[in-house]
Amino acid sequence: MADKNFDLETTISALARNKRYAALRDVLVTMNAADIAALFAGLEQEVLPLLFRLLPKELAAETFVEMDSDAQELLITGFSDSELKEVIDELYIDDAVDIVEEMPANVVKRILQQADAETRKQINEILKYPEDSAGSIMTTEFVELRPHMTVADAIKSIRRSGIEKETINTCYITMPDRTLSGQITIRAIIIADDDDLVEDIMEQHVISVSTMDDQETVAQMFQKYDLLSLPVVDKENRLVGIVTVDDAIDVLQEETTEDIEKMAAITPSDRPYLKTSVWSIYLHRIPWLLILMISATFTGMIIMSFENALAATVALTAFIPMLMDTGGNSGSQASVTIIRGLALQEIAFKDIFKVIFKEARVSLLCGITLAAANFLKLMLIDKVSLVISLVVCVTLVITVFVAKIIGCTLPMLAKKIGFDPAVMASPFITTLVDAISLLTYFSVASFLL
């Protein structure tokens, strides 16, 4: 797909330069909004407003949603009030909220001025929920039915209001006080008889979330229960919105990116890399580098305290990097496996002893294999003395064991006390394991040499 777009980019540029607007429009309407937005991102800014105006109303709004916030701001600035109103009228509420959240205050003011009163009210409603809550990612547009409706009434109601709802695939049944009493799929409605009552064919056991629930929990429920949408209720069980699966996928991907960044000792950011300033990337990375650098002081202190031993046998120094790297790698294998398992809810705190026992056995197998390979290499290739070989290999086994046990235990303990397990990944564990492996190394050396 991606390669095809690049050819198209050249064509569209040429058509725009030669003012072939009819042809341009014909080409663009065959395309999907996400592809048009990607295409626009590669063109010169000047032609953007012109090309955008060629799109039919609905496709224009869909494309607008897919563009990045800089391009959106550029377009809004160029829009007349009536053009802006036209785009906003076509947007789904949750998309409108996403755009409002990214725009500077003066643009937000213009958007809210052009939105009709009902839309403005709904946008403000969603904006009041905290970031990363279910309320902040929901849409307030959904199909609402009543229990006593017949299927024929329900279909009439869907026909009347369904065109502007984000989804009609699942409809929600509420009582007059708006409390949620059931849900029904469009499939069940189509298959039912016209005079069946909605309350007789609806599902009564509805999975719902609360407005303040964490968006990650919400997104994971989509995966667990294979949902297409999920109702969001307030404290009184009144239905206030729904979350749709497309937004749940975005949340899952965002949260995973955050976990991966934390594992690599980066403070997470939610802007794409190429759009993030150097200064901002610096600020997200330097705190952890500083903390980890300073905590490496301990390894330095350990080495200094064994200065005499090292001066006598410089050969020992040569194996420090290998021991440290192997310890770090072993530890991060364990920690990353456990962190991902916790994130996917495959592992829970109650499994901690099972996990430790498993890692203990794995680490002994790994440690012994590595030590054996290393022993052969030391004796046959490096030709160092038997005692030094033994010191290195014994240290290796102990280091791998300690690294894997720490690597699996810390993320689980972190989770238990309410910390983010992802922060307990490689860099943090490496620093700890480094210190322990150096202490082991020198202790074994003092004992055997």
> Which residues, numbered 276-315, are part of the site for its own copies (CB under 8 A)?
278-279, 281-282, 285-286, 288-290, 292-294, 296-297, 299-301, 303-304, 307, 310-311, 314-315
Cα–Cα distance between 31 and 146 in angstroms, integer? Answer: 39
Q: Which of 96, 232, 265, 394 binds its own copies (CB under 8 A)?
A: 265
Instruction: Tell the smallest beta-carbon distance from residue 78 to its own copies (Å).
Output: 26
Cα–Cα distance between 303 and 222 in angstroms, integer? Answer: 52
Instruction: Tell the smallest beta-carbon distance from residue 225 to its own copies (Å).
Output: 5
* Measured distance between the N- and C-terminal CA atoms of the chain, rounded to whole angstroms: 64
Can residue 5 be called a binding residue for its own copies (CB under 8 A)?
no
Can residue 31 be called a binding residue for its own copies (CB under 8 A)?
yes
Rounded to 10 deg, the angle between the 297-305 and 278-295 helix axes is 30
**Residue in the block written with tokens 């109650």:** 350
Give the residues across from 42 on adjacent strands.
none
Instruction: Tell the smallest beta-carbon distance from residue 198 to its own copies (Å).
Output: 15
Can residue 11 be called a binding residue for its own copies (CB under 8 A)?
no
Can residue 447 be called a binding residue for its own copies (CB under 8 A)?
no
Can residue 347 be called a binding residue for its own copies (CB under 8 A)?
yes
Q: Which of 175, 358, 443, 449 binds its own copies (CB under 8 A)?
A: 358
How far is CA 14 from its chain centroid? 38
Decide: 371 and 397 in contact? Cβ < 8 Å. Answer: yes
Q: Strand 170-174 relative to strand 180-185: parallel, antiparallel, unpaired?
A: antiparallel
**Residue in the block written with tokens 């797909």:** 1
Q: Which of 50, 127, 249, 379 binds its own copies (CB under 8 A)?
A: 249
| Sheet with 239-244, side-by-side order of all strands | 209-210, 229-233, 239-244
Q: Which of residues 201-240 bind its own copies (CB under 8 A)?
A: 205, 207, 221-226, 228
Decide: 179 and 239 in contact? Cβ < 8 Å. Answer: yes
Task: Decide whether 109 or 156 has the Cβ nearer to its own copies.
Answer: 156
Stretch touching its own copies by CB under 8 A, among 78-86, 124-132, 133-141, 156-164: 156-164
Can residue 417 be called a binding residue for its own copies (CB under 8 A)?
no
Rounded to 10 deg, the angle between the 69-78 and 105-114 helix axes is 60
Q: Which of residues 375-404 bind its own copies (CB under 8 A)?
A: 377, 382, 400
Run of H or E including 184? strand 180-185
Task: Decide whether 211 or 333 has the Cβ nearer to its own copies.
Answer: 333
Q: Which of 202, 336, 394, 397 binds its own copies (CB under 8 A)?
A: 336
Residue 383: helix, strand or coil by DSSP?
coil
Can residue 171 be called a binding residue for its own copies (CB under 8 A)?
no
Instruction: Tell the smallest beta-carbon distance from residue 332 to its own copies (Å).
Output: 5
Instruction: Tell the smallest beta-carbon distance from residue 361 to its own copies (Å).
Output: 4
Task: Decide whether 291 or 444 has the Cβ nearer to its own copies.
Answer: 291
Can residue 109 be called a binding residue for its own copies (CB under 8 A)?
no
Stretch touching its own copies by CB under 8 A, among 8-16, 26-34, 74-82, 124-132: 26-34
Residue 229: helix, strand or coil by DSSP?
strand
Residue 407: helix, strand or coil by DSSP?
helix
Can residue 14 be called a binding residue for its own copies (CB under 8 A)?
no
Can residue 373 be called a binding residue for its own copies (CB under 8 A)?
yes
Q: Which of residues 176-195 bind its own copies (CB under 8 A)?
A: 186-187, 190-191
Q: Do you know the residue count of the chain?
A: 449
Q: Which two tokens stand for residue 408?
A: 């699996």
Instruction: Tell the smallest beta-carbon distance from residue 300 to its own copies (Å).
Output: 4
Residue 192: helix, strand or coil by DSSP?
coil
Cα–Cα distance between 257 and 264 in angstroms, integer? Answer: 11
Beta-carbon contacts of 168 under 8 Å, excluding residues fewer than 6 positions away, are 143, 158, 162, 186
Instruction: Tell the smallest beta-carbon distance from residue 64 to its own copies (Å).
Output: 14
Can residue 411 be called a binding residue for its own copies (CB under 8 A)?
no
